[in-house]
């Protein structure tokens, strides 16, 4: 991943910053003039295992290096299956993200030629193949050409891959190739870097360059060459400056990244609103390069996303349908493609993704574009694949999110989707300007309301977590915008506290789920405000009464001073008064804290839950 004077140090710090992307094993490979073989070290488990091993027996000095943290797709986590993998002659080492779909066939071919494999990974197949092709080139031309060898191999692979390689015969370069998997270049002075995310090198340089689909790159200390897989030069690679500092991706005194990031919820909302208005207070979405005429004609929105991002989309559906009066469908990205969705040039597909690399979402947006629809990405990561492949992007400015469980990105995604909804209302004239401005003013008040929850409800939440720490399961209920919030609260608890949790629409209770309620069963209920049209409030309160009558222990998220809630709920997490459509921005906060407290009380690593990785770059 780096061609500079201190490759091991750069790799190890980069892996530390990227460990959230995968943490079941880690490894490095180095090359330097005079080495007969690449120097490789790899270890199963967290990065600390590798660090300890390197401290016990250091690797030699080097000029280039590559490093990898793994989330197993192919072969269980072990020292052997960890990356880097080496060529048969040990001269080349590679690291790989993605899944090589024709690996079995290639492996059989290589085995029939006498190649022997020690791991169960597709990556080792690519390593052996690269070694073979590199040697063929030496036979053909009399000199090594790792860049050309990797391009040839890239043309032979199917599936998804980013591959980086070093060769001890060319110890001044690192080469890379990408197809359906991320890769960015860091442009330093006298040193250059490659990473699957800018976080890998942001401590060294904020100047970055995108590598496009089916492109290959060769970096040395003073040069970066980009070509397509056939070797044709690529001259127009997009450059950008990373808009956050390395310190933003550090814990900065917080016990965990998740704790830090929940406390950044207010800032994430404020920053996502920043710079999106002109002097008259109208919304201007500068990064959105879709013409006004196209927006005016949009007659349906389909949100494609996964997990937390899809729940942000579900929240936005309530608001956008209300404001713009066009249907909004929210679809899990991995389901979308396979059901022959109805897409027309007037459909706006909104792809929501924190990482911008979720393969399911990327595939969904490609499908939408193939069908002639416009795609707008709501994304938190500059230069990522999803914004790059979309027609337009609206960045959430939540700053880097490191904890695997998404928190501040969720509130920022809601705000960005709301801005899009209000923009459409402005362009299509479905709302009066005053109305839009009024909502924008209310949105601008939300950071301080979230802050109020953080300042005044955290103790309450911690207390409830202590009380509930041994509970085996939870139910989360909500209606209207409270429904996706219930789903999100449930997801947080599942993924970091490993507790069986079901979130559902409160109205469904009596259609089945109430059978789950037994004495002591904890039920978390998002209660809408009793102000204004209070039908929903009363119905949700009835739901609380019903589960209470069956012995449930109830936790309510409710508006300050709600008298009914005080009467029926065992515990209340209070929300300050705010408009119903904006309430998800505050209601999710105690649920994020609750999941974190539960996980901490159980002694789990809240930032790196088992079996998960931050960016799901495989389908």
Please list the active-site residues: 4, 614
Q: Which two tokens stand for residue 546?
A: 């019903």
Q: Which is nearer to ligand F6R, 192 or 407 (CB)?
A: 407
Nearest-angstrom CA–CA distance, 569 and 260: 29
Which of 173, 379 has the CB closer to ligand F6R? Answer: 379
> Given phi > 0 = left and psi -120 to 50 = alpha, else beta, which region is 258?
alpha
Q: How far is the CB of 615 from ligand F6R (least distance, A)?
A: 6
Cα 160 from chain centroid?
Answer: 17
CA dist 347 → 298, 315, 327 (Å)? 6, 19, 10
Minimum distance, C-beta of residue 311 to ligand F6R, in the bound complex (Å): 8
Residue 437: in which H helix or E strand, if any? Answer: helix 433-468
Kindly tell me which residue out of 74, 181, 205, 406 binds ligand F6R, with binding defined by CB under 6 A. Answer: 406
How far apart, in whole angstroms, are the C-alpha atoms of residue 189 and residue 192?
Answer: 7
Q: How far is the CB of 384 from ligand F6R (least distance, A)?
A: 9
Q: Is the dihedral of CA 375, 376, 381, 382 positive or negative?
A: positive
How many residues in the shown chain lie near ligand F6R by CB under 6 A? 14
Among 355, 385, 460, 529, binds ligand F6R (CB under 6 A): 355
Q: How far is the CB of 450 from ligand F6R (least distance, A)?
A: 18
Residue 97 near ligand F6R by CB under 6 A: no
Q: Which is nearer to ligand F6R, 489 or 543 (CB)?
A: 489
Residue 180 sits in the site that holds ligand F6R (CB under 6 A)? no
Q: Which region among 132-140, 251-259, 350-358, 422-430 touches ligand F6R (by CB under 6 A)?
A: 350-358
For residue 336, give the nearest of 369, 302, 376, 383 by alpha carbon.
302
CB 130 within 8 A of CB 165: yes
By CB under 6 A, residue 616 contacts ligand F6R:
yes
405 touches ligand F6R by CB under 6 A = yes
Closest distance to ligand F6R from the beta carbon of 308 (Å): 3
Give min distance, CB of 337 to ligand F6R, in A: 15
The pairing of strands 92-100 and 85-86 is antiparallel
358 binds ligand F6R (CB under 6 A): yes
Give the full edge-to-edge strand order of the sheet including 92-100: 85-86, 92-100, 159-167, 174-179, 215-219, 224-228
- Edge-to-edge strand list for the sheet holding 184-187: 39-44, 25-31, 64-70, 2-3, 192-195, 184-187, 207-210, 239-241
Q: Which stretch binds ligand F6R (CB under 6 A): 29-37, 99-107, 225-233, 352-360?
A: 352-360
Which residue from 81, 192, 272, 354 is in contact with ligand F6R, where contact means CB under 6 A?
354
Among the listed ranges 65-73, 88-96, 149-157, 353-361, the one in contact with ligand F6R (CB under 6 A) is: 353-361
Q: Which residues contact 366 (CB under 8 A, 6 or more apart)?
A: 389
Helix (H, G, I), strand (E, B) or coil at 385: helix
- Report d(CA 130, CA 15) in Å as an integer: 24
Of the two residues 205 and 406, which places its CB atom closer to ligand F6R in the complex? 406
Q: Which residue is nearest to ligand F6R (CB)?
A: 307
Spatial contact of 67 and 126, defined as CB atoms under 8 Å apart? no
134 vs 315 by CB, closer to ligand F6R: 315
How many CB atoms neighbour CB 117 within 10 A? 15
Site string for ligand F6R, 75-94 (x = CB under 6 A): --------------------
Angle between helices 433-468 and 265-273 (to 10 degrees): 170
Q: What are phi and psi of 155, to 5 degrees?
A: -70, -20
Instruction: Give the per-residue contact string, 482-511, with ligand F6R (x = CB under 6 A; - = no).
Output: ---------x---x----------------
Determine, following the binding rule CB under 6 A, whether residue 262 of this chain makes contact with ligand F6R: no
Of 436 and 524, the one with the shorter C-beta distance to ligand F6R is 524
Q: Which is nearer to ligand F6R, 210 or 357 (CB)?
A: 357
User: Of 47-55, 296-304, 355-363, 444-452, which segment contacts ligand F6R by CB under 6 A?
Assistant: 355-363
The least distance separating ligand F6R from the CB of residue 182, rounded to whole angstroms, comes to 11
CB nearer ligand F6R, residue 65 or residue 387: 387
Tokens 């739901």 belong to residue: 543
φ and ψ at 343, to 5 degrees?
-125, 135
Spatial separation of the C-alpha atoms in residues 265 and 4, rounded to whole Å = 37
CB of 496 to ligand F6R, least distance (A): 8
Q: How far is the CB of 328 from ligand F6R (least distance, A)?
A: 18
SS (H, E, C) 43-63: EECCHHHHHHHHHHCCCCCCC
Using CB under 6 A as the criterion, what x/- string covers residues 273-312 for binding ligand F6R? ---------------------------------xxxx---
**Phi and psi angles of residue 245, each rounded to the nearest 5 degrees, phi first:** -90, 160
Does position 617 bind ligand F6R by CB under 6 A?
no
Min. distance of Cβ 406 from ligand F6R in angstroms? 3
- How far is the C-alpha of 615 from the C-alpha of 353, rounded, in Å? 10
Binders of ligand F6R in range 359-398 (CB under 6 A): 361
Tokens of 139: 């036979």
Q: Which of residues 47-76 bind ligand F6R (CB under 6 A)?
A: none
Pull the structure tokens for residue 93: 């080492």
Q: Which is nearer to ligand F6R, 4 or 333 (CB)?
A: 333
Residue-wise burial string across 77-100, b where 16 or more C-beta atoms lie within 10 A, e elsewhere: ebbebbbbbbbbeebbbbbbbbbb
Taking the complex as a whole, the smallest distance from the CB of residue 247 to ligand F6R amounts, in Å, to 22
Give the per-residue contact string, 448-487, with ligand F6R (x = CB under 6 A; - = no).
----------------------------------------
Q: Return the structure tokens found at 215.
A: 């492109």
Applying CB under 6 A, the span of 20-28, 144-152, 348-356, 391-399 interacting with ligand F6R comes to: 348-356
Interface with ligand F6R by CB under 6 A: which residues?
306-309, 353-355, 358, 361, 405-406, 491, 495, 616
């Amino acid at each position: 991943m780096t061609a500079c004077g201190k490759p091991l140090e750069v790799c190890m710090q980069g892996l530390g910053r990227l460990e959230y992307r995968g943490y079941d094993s880690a490894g490095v490979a180095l090359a330097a003039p005079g080495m007969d073989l690449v120097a490789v070290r790899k270890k199963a488990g967290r990065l600390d295992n590798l660090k300890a091993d390197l401290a016990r027996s250091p690797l030699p000095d080097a000029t280039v290096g590559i490093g990898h943290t793994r989330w197993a797709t192919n072969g269980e986590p072990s020292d052997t299956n960890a990356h880097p993998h080496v060529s048969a002659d040990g001269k080349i080492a590679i690291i790989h993200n993605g899944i090589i779909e024709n690996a079995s066939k290639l492996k059989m071919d290589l085995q029939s030629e006498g190649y022997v494999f020690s791991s169960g990974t597709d990556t080792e197949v690519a390593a052996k193949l690269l070694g073979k092709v590199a040697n063929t080139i030496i036979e053909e031309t009399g000199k090594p050409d790792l860049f050309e060898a990797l391009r040839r191999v890239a043309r032979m692979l199917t599936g998804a891959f980013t591959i980086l390689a070093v060769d001890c015969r060319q110890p001044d370069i690192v080469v890379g190739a990408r197809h359906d998997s991320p890769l960015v270049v860091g442009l330093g002075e006298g040193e250059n870097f490659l990473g699957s995310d800018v976080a890998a090198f942001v401590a060294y340089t904020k100047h970055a360059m995108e590598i496009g689909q089916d492109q290959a790159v060769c970096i040395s200390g003073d040069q970066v060459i980009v070509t397509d897989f056939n070797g044709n030069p690529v001259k127009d690679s997009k450059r950008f400056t990373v808009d956050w500092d390395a310190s933003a991706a550090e814990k900065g005194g917080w016990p965990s990244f998740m704790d830090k990031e929940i406390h950044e919820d207010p800032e994430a909302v404020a920053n996502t609103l920043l710079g999106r208005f002109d002097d008259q207070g109208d919304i201007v979405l500068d990064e959105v390069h879709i013409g006004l005429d196209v927006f005016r004609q949009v007659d349906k929105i389909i949100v494609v996303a996964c997990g937390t991002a899809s729940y942000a989309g579900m929240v936005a559906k309530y608001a956008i349908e209300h404001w713009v009066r066009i249907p909004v469908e929210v679809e899990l990205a991995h389901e979308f493609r396979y059901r022959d969705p109805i897409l027309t040039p007037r459909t706006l597909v909104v792809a929501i993704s924190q990482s911008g690399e979720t393969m399911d979402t990327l595939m969904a947006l490609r499908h939408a574009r193939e069908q002639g629809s416009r795609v707008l990405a709501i994304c938190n990561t500059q230069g990522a694949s999803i914004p790059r492949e979309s027609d337009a992007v609206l960045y959430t400015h939540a700053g880097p999110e490191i904890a695997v469980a998404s928190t501040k990105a969720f509130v920022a995604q809601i705000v960005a989707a709301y801005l899009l909804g209000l923009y459409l209302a402005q362009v299509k004239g479905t709302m009066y300007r005053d109305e839009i401005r009024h909502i924008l003013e209310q949105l601008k008040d939300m950071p301080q309301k979230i802050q109020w929850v953080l300042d005044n409800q955290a103790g309450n939440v911690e207390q409830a977590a202590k009380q509930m720490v041994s509970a085996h399961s939870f139910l989360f209920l909500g209606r209207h915008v409270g429904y996706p919030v219930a789903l999100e609260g449930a997801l947080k608890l599942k993924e970091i506290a490993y507790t069986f949790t079901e979130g559902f629409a409160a109205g469904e209770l009596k259609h089945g789920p109430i059978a789950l309620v037994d004495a002591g069963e904890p039920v978390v209920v998002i209660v809408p405000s009793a102000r204004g049209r209070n039908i929903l409030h009363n119905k949700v309160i009835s739901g609380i009464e019903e589960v209470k009558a069956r012995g449930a222990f109830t936790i309510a998220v409710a508006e300050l001073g709600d008298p009914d809630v005080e009467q029926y709920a065992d515990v209340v997490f209070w929300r300050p008064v705010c408009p119903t459509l904006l309430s998800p921005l505050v209601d999710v906060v105690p649920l994020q804290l609750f999941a974190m407290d539960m996980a901490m009380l159980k002694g789990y690593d809240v930032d790196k839950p088992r079996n998960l990785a931050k960016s799901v770059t495989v389908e």
